[in-house]
Amino acid sequence: MNKTKTVEIKHMSKRFGPTVALNDVSFEAYRGEILGLIGENGSGKSTSTSIFAGMQAADEGEMFFLGEAWAPKSMTDALKQGVGMIVQESGTVAGITVAENIFLGETKEFMRGPFVDRKRMFAEAQKALDQIGAGHIRAEMVTAALDFQDRKLSEIAKVMAQNPTVLVVDETTTALSQMGRDIIYGIMNRMKEEDKTVIFISHDLDEIMEKCDRLTVLRDGQIIRTFTKEEFDADQIRTSMIGRELSGSFYRNDFDSVAGEEVVLEADDLCLGNQLDHLSLKLHAGEILGIGGLSHCGMHTLGKVLFAAEMPEAGTFTVHGKTIRNEAEAMRESMGYVAKDRDVESLCVDASIKDNISVAGLDKFAVKNFLILPSKEKKYVDAQVEALRIKCRDADQYVSALSGGNKQKVAFSKWTGRDSEILILDCPTRGVDIGVKQAMYQLMDQMRKEGKSILLISEEMAELIGMSDRLLVMKDGKVQKELLRSPALSEADVITYMI
């Protein structure tokens, strides 16, 4: 390894109101290195790197880039000088084209007289997309027409078009299918070969151990330990992350399904564009039904359709034998839906934890189903905050000030609070740390044992295999294969039918 430092952070501290996000954090990264940052949600990974990438300023501390004092004015400024960051959630503007997103703030580069040369801009954007291996995205498309993965890939193209020396990949891979992940891994490897630096943030321990040369663990805003490649040990890293040994099993350890015969949700011959192609399925009481496949296989659309958020062009679906026409009817049949795009679809981030949890359960605590008494509302919300151990100042804290895992807990508690019998969970553990993940798996298992039903849509093979009673593998909008829970079921078995 060339030992030239590219990134150096010294004694950095940052507070968000009473929350200490960073407390005297110091670390460095070198040329030709992939440095991993790992830690529980809210440990300071995103905060420290986002400060280096110009998103916000630190309260205290110094930063150096290639040995020079570093104080970028903005993310655009940092990117122009060689530090790019791919953020966790969507960072694109929906109503403009992919090309305009890629060259946002740089359209003057494409001016021909008083006009923007859109043809040249589209061509350059397409070149950027092709270069990262996302040529299937057309630069002239409106960004709103893209799914989450393709929006994320267009962000990556935007960053890579500037040829950065340091790239921060912040918990991006879990939002992507294998194809998207391979694109990011390819970029990371290429940067390493070109003697550049990658700072890789992920909650996937296997992934981070495989890809990184060194690994720095943060907890509660402090650096706990840095592991060299030779020192990598999953148990030790986990213990460093959460400050205790992770007891109990991660996934379910039973292989005897308690699912009953009763069908609670039935879809028959569903068709919708190129997303659903004559798809049928049955979900039983007390069953976790996994849905897996590549990102574009239609599984995310299936989740929306089964919650009646999108209507199929053909086919029917019933819940407890009743046809469902909209989300309110689905909720009346005790359904809940945690969407993949958490900050847009599952939460109102500019509202309090209380607002988010109570709005889904108004019918559960309103007197005579209309009158809201603050005391009853508080009792209802506090019970959910406690049950899911949401880390917060109090329930009046705004969701925007929570870490990713705690946001996800709020999204969960909307539906567990109203005691939903059927939950549709689309990538429920995306971007959450292993401690929260384990808590969520335990919650799902508990719900299953109580006779509740879960449709688990996920891009994580291990999660699907570890939690599902049955697993439907989708491809091109169809169910390609049904796999039953078994200790012998492997990721290779699933992947065979996905691709």
Partner 1 sequence: MGNDTLIRKENRKAALFRLAPVMGLVFLFAVFLILAIIKDINIPYSFKNIINQSVVVVVAATGAVFIYTLGSFDISLGASLCVSALIGAMAYNVTGSVLVMLLVCVGVAVGISLVSSVLASVFNLPVFVTTIAMLSLLSALVLVLIGANGTGDVIQVPAAAVRGINNVWFKLIVMVLYLAFCIFLFDFMKLGRKEKFQGGNPVCAKLTGLNGKKLAIAAFAIAGIGVGLGAFLTITYAPTLSRNTASSVGMDIIISIVFGGMPVSGGARSKIYSAAIGAVSMTLLNQIMLTLSLDSGVGQMVKAMIFILVVYISMSNHKGNILPR
List binders of partner 1 among 410-439 (CB under 8 A): 414
With respect to partner 1, which residue has the nearer C-beta, 287 or 377?
377
Q: Is 46 in the site for partner 1 (CB under 8 A)?
A: yes
Query: Which range touches partner 1 (CB under 8 A), out of 1-9, 98-106, 202-210, 361-369?
Result: 361-369
Q: Which of 408, 468 has the CB closer to partner 1?
A: 408
Binding mask 263-302 for partner 1 (x = CB under 8 A): ----------------------------------------
Residue 275 or 403: which CB sits closer to partner 1? 403
* Between 5 and 15, CB nearer to partner 1: 15
| Candidate list 1, 359, 462, 499; residue touching partner 1; CB under 8 A | 359
Buried b (16+ CB within 10 A) or exposed e, 273-298: eebbbebebebbbbbbbbbbbbbbbb
| Mutual angle of helices 353-360 and 374-387, in 10-degree steps | 100
CB of 461 to partner 1, least distance (A): 26
- What one-character-per-residue DSSP string does 241-288 give? HHSS---S-SS----S----S-EEEEEEEEEETTTEEEEEEEEETT-E
Q: What is the DSSP string of 98-117?
A: HHHHHTTT-GGGGEETTEE-
For residues 12 and 60, the answer to whether their CB atoms sit within 8 Å is yes
Asked if 16 interacts with partner 1 (CB under 8 A), we say yes
Q: Which is nearer to partner 1, 238 or 342 (CB)?
A: 342
Query: What interhelical angle do 374-387 and 404-417 show, nearest 10?
Result: 120
Distance CA 398, CA 378 (A): 15
Taking the complex as a whole, how short is the minimal distance between the CB of residue 406 and partner 1, in angstroms? 10
Report in angstroms how near the CB of residue 396 gets to partner 1 at its nearest: 9
Contact 323, 316 (CB under 8 A): yes
Interface with partner 1 includes 372 (CB under 8 A)? yes
Task: Tell me how far, at minimum, the Cβ of 354 lies from partner 1, in Å.
Answer: 9
The interface mask with partner 1, positions 142-181, x = CB under 8 A, is: ----------------------------x-----------
User: If binding means CB under 8 A, how many residues of this protein chain bind partner 1?
Assistant: 57
**Which residue, 200 or 227, has its beta carbon nearer to partner 1?**
200
Three-class SS state of 215: strand
Q: Closest distance between partner 1 and the C-beta of residue 429, in Å?
A: 16
Answer yes or no: are the C-beta atoms of 79 and 159 closer than 8 Å. yes
Please, which residue, 207 or 327, has the CB nearer to partner 1? Answer: 327
**Which of positions 300-319 make contact with partner 1 (CB under 8 A)?**
307, 309
Please state the closest distance from residue 154 (CB atom) to partner 1, in A: 17
- d(CA 390, CA 395) in angstroms, rounded, equals 9
Shortest spacing between CB 145 and partner 1, in angstroms: 16
370: contact with partner 1 by CB under 8 A: yes
Question: Could you give the CA distance from residue 450 to residue 406 in angstroms, rounded to a whole number?
Answer: 24
Nearest Cα residue to 208 out of 345, 37, 369: 37
Asked if residue 94 binds partner 1 (CB under 8 A), the reply is: no
- The answer to whether residue 334 forms part of the interface with partner 1 (CB under 8 A) is no
Nearer to partner 1, 115 or 370 (CB): 370
Residue number with CB closer to partner 1 (227 or 380):
380
Stretch that binds partner 1, among 145-153, 226-234, 367-375, 444-452 (CB under 8 A): 367-375
DSSP 214: E
Six-digit token string for 130 = 């092709």
Q: Which stretch binds partner 1 (CB under 8 A): 145-153, 205-213, 227-235, 360-368?
A: 360-368
Q: Give SS3 for 410.
A: helix
Please state whether beta strands 33-39 and 214-219 pair in parallel, antiparallel, or not at all (unpaired): parallel
Query: Which is closer to partner 1, CB of 272 or CB of 489?
Result: 272
d(Cα 110, Cα 103) in Å, to the nearest integer? 9
Q: Fill in the DSSP letter of residue 135.
A: T
Choose the stretch contacting partner 1; rule: CB under 8 A; options: 158-166, 223-231, 282-290, 330-338: 330-338
Q: Which residues contact 72 (CB under 8 A, 6 or more apart)?
A: 53, 54, 78, 81, 83
Quick one: how far is CA 390 from the chain centroid?
18
Q: Which is nearer to partner 1, 360 or 454 (CB)?
A: 360
- The answer to whether residue 325 forms part of the interface with partner 1 (CB under 8 A) is no
Concatenated DSSP letters for 65-102? ETTEE---SSHHHHHHHTEEEE-SS--S-TTSBHHHHH
Task: Round to whole Å and give the CA distance between 399 and 407.
Answer: 6
Residues in touch with partner 1 (CB under 8 A): 15-21, 42, 46-47, 50, 55-56, 87-89, 170, 307, 309, 326-328, 330-331, 337, 339, 343-352, 355-356, 358-360, 362-363, 366, 369-373, 393, 398, 400-404, 414
